[in-house]
Structure 1
Amino acid sequence: MVNVILLVVCFGAGIFLQKTGRFPTATPAVLNGFIIHISLPALALLHIHRLHLDTSLLYTAAMAWCLFGAGVLFFRAIGRLAGLSRGTTGALMLVGGLGNTSFVGLPMIEAYYGKEFLGIGLIADQLGSFLVLSTLGIVVATVYSSGDLSPRLMARKILLFPPFQALVLAFLLIPVPFPDWLPLILQKLGDTLTPLALASVGFQLRLSHIRGELKPLSLGLLYKLVLGPALLTLLFVGLFGGSGTVMQVTLFEAAMAPMITAGIIAVDHDLNPPLVTLMLGIGIPLSFVTLPVWWWLLRGV
């Protein structure tokens, strides 16, 4: 409940600051820059160091990779059929193909399945959504913003992406005990992600853009909240025979709202920012309606 209230307050604060004109128009770029260079690396160092890897969670780690891969194929095909611009297609791949498996996902797991399953959410987020965004997500953002397919540029973009650098460092440091004060500092820095990201989204949100973005907005939310998790359910349960509570939580994470951080990366690469803010601004509240439905449907898995 606290996370929901925080979401509303920070989102509303962004809208308020935009309406009052007290902050410059470049505010979102500054906030996004802080998130990419400080907040995300801090979270990577903190959570990866705490991970306890288990082969039973392979489906959980693979979930975001499958969801994103299927989303790239889906939005590429739909983009061509619907005549969408490259920027719009790239934005849909990023924001429609990745779920909010941490800020929204963890509280929802606790509410519907209990605290004992929060570790599944962390695996889905850190080895899934976050790692996908730091690698394949950067590739998609680069290709659809610049059109450059040079392998050298792709490698450079990924290797110089601060959260990816932090991710690599975090894996290397897993065997090394952190001093007591370091996790506290990393947590404080990481805690800035949600308020800054939501304020940035709220600052850029223009509901007047809905009419012009209605078609891609509908397609993006349809895939993220309905088609994507349904496809993974057919794959993991119907084809591979997965079952049990861990599988339920994994698929529940697949049904989360669009990923805020993916939206930050999309906006940073100028991939249809109005559509991105609408996907987040409408998709997150809408997920509070669709998630109970998915919880009910997944009970039999």
Structure 2
Amino acid sequence: MAFTSDNVQVFLAVLDKGSFSAAARSLSRVPSAVSMTISLLEAELDIPLFDRAGREPRPTAAALALEPQARLLAQQLAQLNRQAEALQMGLEERLTFAIAPELLSTGWAEPLAALIAEFPTLALEVLAAPQTDALELVHGGRAHLALVFERPAIDGREDFQEMGQETLVAVMSPQFAPWLESLAEKRAGKPGPGGPLPPTLDIGQLARTRQVLVASRDPQQTDMRFVFSRQLWRTDSHQAALSLISAGLAWGWLPKGLVEPHILTGHLMEIPVENLSNGTTLFVDWVWSRERALGLGAQRFIALMRERRARRHAG
């Protein structure tokens, strides 16, 4: 094989510097070593790469034709060396995120641009899983980081970094006609500041109304903070929950950012609840296991998130 990592480096240095002596200085070598490397490469290829008739060597047409591929090879070798060094320093072969489906539409991917700029060969895997399942993926070592809502209690096995907040609202479809009609009749004739009061549901009525809950595939793992109804449907997908709610089959808690466009078009409505404001704002956290050391990519991602939050607070 004519080309090697060494002679490619020398070949490009001569092209860039315009002479054997200047290339030698840039490579910390003696000019005779550079000249010998080029001569051996020309002999191996049986092609003249530089015209030595003048004071300084001039690249031949063959050298200029080989230059683009030589530069690509040099870049690939440099990238390969950087990846090997990063792996030696603890970079993951693949960085895996487990994300609660309701949070997929948040700005979780923004710090990745800076991370991939630093580690361009880092492979990324994103798994969508209900909150409890996402945390189990972290504890089981299948995922490095999980993006989830704040937990009701602190788990000593976990560490976390707050990313932001998300508001869950209880929504239903106007097609839930039997309930809306009965509520309208119930509130008819009771004037409010701007006219008749809108129909509302009390907690007891919500308990008798079918609810769809985005939850773990394990029925034993349920966040009871969002269970109001005795007739409960479950799904591990917020998109499936949205479809069931939009079809007028149930009501449910969903992220405000997800349902707001549907509310504006009239396909969904926020449920007015008596003596209770509709909307629960929860913190959103990146969580990782204390029982496993984080790799270089995960550590840097967390640092980038912290820098991003600090800039936001400073601004």
Q: TM-score, normalised by structure 1?
A: 0.19
Larger radius of gyration: 2
RCO higher in 1 or 2 (8 Å CA, sep ≥ 6)? 1
Give 1 or 2: higher helix fraction: 1
